[in-house]
C-alpha cells in the first residue's frame, strides 16, 4: 500500500495527541482511522500470496470479538440467576432494588454485560485495532518499516518535551497522564536504540571501505542523524524514568486495595465477566465510596470484564501471535536492519506487557494503536 507508513504515523500521532484530552479524540475518530488504514492495507495487498499464519491470527481475533458479542445478547433473568447471579445483584443495586422501573418488576431479560453500550464501544475498538495490526503486517514493506521505525522515536521525543514543558509550567502533572505516556515511550524506546545502532554500524562499515581522506567526511555526515536520535532517546528515557518513579501518595495502598476488589469481581462474575470495558461501571455500584475507573492491573481487569468467556479466546490469540513471532525469526528471511527492527518491536511489546502488571496504559486507545502497529511489525513477512 502506497504511503502506508505515513498513514500509520498519522494514526499513531493522533492517538498520542489525545492524551489527557477529551474522549471524542479517541472515539470514534481514532477507531475509524485505524479500521480504515488497516482495511485499505488488506485490500491493497489482496494480490499477495496467502499467509496462513495471519489468517489464523485473524481467526483468533474473530473468536475474541464473537465472545464479546455474546456478552451483549439479552438473556432471560432465570438463566442470569442460574449462571451469573452477580449480574442480577448489580441490576438490583444499580436500580435501588428495581425501584423506579416499569411496574417495579425486574427486567425479564438483560445482557451478561452490566453496561452493553460500553461493551459495544470496547468491541468496536477491538475490531479496529485488530484490523490495524493485521493490515500493518500484511501491507507494510521493508522500506516503509524502516521509515516508520526512524520516525516513531522522534515523535515520542517531541511528545516528551511537550510533557516536560507542561510539567514545569503547571507545577506538576497528573499521574494518569504520566502512566499513559510512560507506556507509549516504553514501546518506542527499543526502536530508538536500534536506530542509533544502525546509523553507527552503517557509517563505521562505510568508513572501512573508504580512503583515509574520506573518513572525516563520512563521520561528519553520520554525526547529525546519530546525534538527533541520541537526543531523542535521552529525552524519552528520562521521561519514562520519571513516569516510573513518580507515584502518587498512597499508591501502594490503592494498588493492593484495587487488586482485592478486582479479584472479588473475577470470583463473583464468572464465567462471563462484567462485560468488556465495564470495570468502572461495576465498581461504581459495588464500591461507591471508591468507584475507581480502572483496576491498576490490566490483566486482572480484563479477567474481571471477560471471565472465562473472553480469557480463553484471548489466550489462544496471544499464543498464535507468539507462534508467528517465533516463526518469523526462525525463517531468517530478514536483512540485518529488518531483523533488528523486528527485535525492537518485540522488545517494546514485552516492556509494555510487563508494565501493565501495575499500569493501565494499554487501555488508552492511543497506546493501543501503537501496540497494534508494533504487533504488525513483529509478525510481518
Spacing of C-alpha 127 from chain mean position: 13
For the chain, where are the alpha helices, taking DSSP H only?
Answer: 4-17, 29-44, 52-70, 77-83, 85-94, 116-139, 142-170, 175-208, 212-245, 251-268, 279-286, 298-331, 336-355, 365-379
**Per-residue pLDDT, 174:** 58
Q: Bridge-partner residues for 109, per DSSP?
A: 76
pLDDT in tens, 107-129: 788 889 989 999 999 999 999 99
Q: Please state whether beta strands 74-76 and 109-111 pair in parallel, antiparallel, or not at all (unpaired).
A: antiparallel
The C-alpha cell at 316 is 489462544
**Per-residue pLDDT, 369:** 94
Closest Cα partner for 364 from 298, 305, 313, 281? 298
Output the pTM of the full model.
0.88
**Per-residue pLDDT, 103:** 40
pLDDT in tens, 19-36: 655 667 778 899 999 999
Q: Bridge-partner residues for 74, per DSSP?
A: 111
**Per-residue pLDDT, 206:** 60
DSSP 221-257: HHHHHHHHHHHHHHHHHHHHHHHHH---TTHHHHHHH
* Ranges of the chain with pLDDT below 50: 97-104, 249, 291
Closest Cα partner for 56 from 250, 313, 230? 313
Amino acid at each position: 500500500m502506497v504511503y502506508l507508513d505515513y498513514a500509520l504515523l498519522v494514526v499513531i500521532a493522533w492517538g498520542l495527541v489525545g492524551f489527557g484530552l477529551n474522549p471524542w479524540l479517541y472515539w470514534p475518530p481514532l477507531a475509524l482511522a485505524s479500521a480504515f488504514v488497516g482495511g485499505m492495507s488488506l485490500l491493497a495487498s489482496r494480490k499477495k500470496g496467502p499467509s496462513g499464519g495471519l489468517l489464523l491470527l485473524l481467526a483468533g481475533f474473530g473468536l475474541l470479538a464473537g465472545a464479546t458479542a455474546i456478552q451483549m445478547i439479552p438473556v432471560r433473568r432465570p438463566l442470569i440467576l442460574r449462571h451469573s447471579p452477580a449480574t442480577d445483584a448489580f441490576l438490583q443495586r444499580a436500580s435501588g432494588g428495581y425501584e423506579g422501573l416499569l411496574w417495579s418488576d425486574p427486567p425479564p431479560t438483560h445482557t451478561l454485560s452490566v453496561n452493553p453500550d460500553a461493551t459495544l464501544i470496547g468491541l468496536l475498538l477491538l475490531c479496529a485495532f485488530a484490523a490495524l495490526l493485521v493490515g500493518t503486517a500484511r501491507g507494510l514493506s521493508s522500506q516503509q518499516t524502516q521509515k516508520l521505525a526512524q520516525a516513531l522515536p522522534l515523535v515520542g521525543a517531541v511528545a516528551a518535551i511537550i510533557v516536560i514543558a507542561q510539567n514545569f509550567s503547571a507545577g506538576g502533572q497528573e499521574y494518569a497522564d504520566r502512566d499513559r505516556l510512560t507506556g507509549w515511550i516504553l514501546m518506542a524506546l527499543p526502536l530508538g536504540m536500534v536506530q542509533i545502532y544502525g546509523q553507527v554500524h552503517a557509517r563505521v562499515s562505510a568508513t572501512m571501505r573508504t580512503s583515509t581522506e574520506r573518513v572525516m567526511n563520512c563521520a561528519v555526515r553520520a554525526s547529525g542523524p546519530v546525534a538527533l536520535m541520541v537526543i531523542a532517546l535521552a529525552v524519552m528515557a528520562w521521561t519514562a524514568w520519571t513516569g516510573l518513579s513518580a507515584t502518587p501518595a498512597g499508591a501502594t495502598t490503592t494498588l493492593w486495595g484495587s487488586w482485592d476488589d478486582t479479584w472479588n469481581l473475577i470470583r463473583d462474575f464468572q464465567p462471563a465477566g462484567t462485560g468488556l470495558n465495564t470495570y468502572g461501571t461495576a465498581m461504581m455500584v459495588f464500591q461507591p465510596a471508591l468507584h475507581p475507573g480502572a483496576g491498576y492491573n490490566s490483566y486482572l481487569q480484563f479477567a474481571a470484564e471477560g471471565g472465562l468467556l473472553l480469557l480463553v479466546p484471548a489466550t489462544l490469540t496471544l499464543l498464535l501471535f507468539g507462534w508467528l513471532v517465533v516463526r518469523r525469526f526462525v525463517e531468517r528471511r530478514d536483512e540485518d536492519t529488518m531483523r533488528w527492527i523486528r527485535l525492537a518491536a518485540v522488545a517494546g511489546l514485552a516492556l509494555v506487557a510487563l508494565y501493565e502488571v501495575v499500569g493501565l496504559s494499554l487501555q488508552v486507545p492511543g497506546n493501543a494503536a501503537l501496540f497494534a502497529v508494533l504487533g504488525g511489525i513483529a509478525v510481518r513477512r
